[in-house]
Structure 1
């Protein structure tokens, strides 16, 4: 089970760390062996991790678009 008390700052996590923690939260919730309060805390943490992952993916997508718009070769053009 994930240690809820040992929460690193979610905003400091990179994508891989956040995704790995999210997977752990999901497994813990799916096991269904937590007290209600613990399950709620896990759910809340999971939601925050989802937001972090989505934010990082949005940032990565924006960077790819900016690189493409700056005249670099598009992958589709290489085929």
Structure 2
């Protein structure tokens, strides 16, 4: 995975797995050191964008799960009320 390829892909277009994988790569590169200050700052900024994108995907997944569970609970409550009558 080259940095040029990563920077060419807008973060907003990345799925969760692609953003996560690239974030891992960015963190490893930063931890390894050896980058000049400007390169390190660009990588850090990209990493922040990638982390935010991952959080967006996770929040969306959590909302979908909550919606399904809420719908299931509503169905169960309606069913319980009907049985009690």
TM-score norm. by structure 1 comes to 0.84
Matches for 1:1-79 after TM superposition, within 5 Å: 2-3=2-3, 5-6=4-5, 7=7, 8-71=9-72
Q: Root-mean-square deviation (CA), in Å?
A: 1.4
Where does the alignment leave 5 or more consecutive residues of structure 2 unmatched?
74-85
* Structure 1 portions without partners, runs of 5+: 73-79
Distance 2:65 2:44 in 1: 32
Q: Contact 1:15–1:56 (CA<8 Å) still a contact in 2?
A: yes
Asked which structure has the greater CA Rg, the reply is: 2
User: Where in structure 1 do 4 or more consecutive aligned residues deviate above 2 Å?
Assistant: none
Contact in 2 for aligned 1:2/1:25 (Cα 8 Å): no
More helix by share: 2
Aligned pairs, number: 71
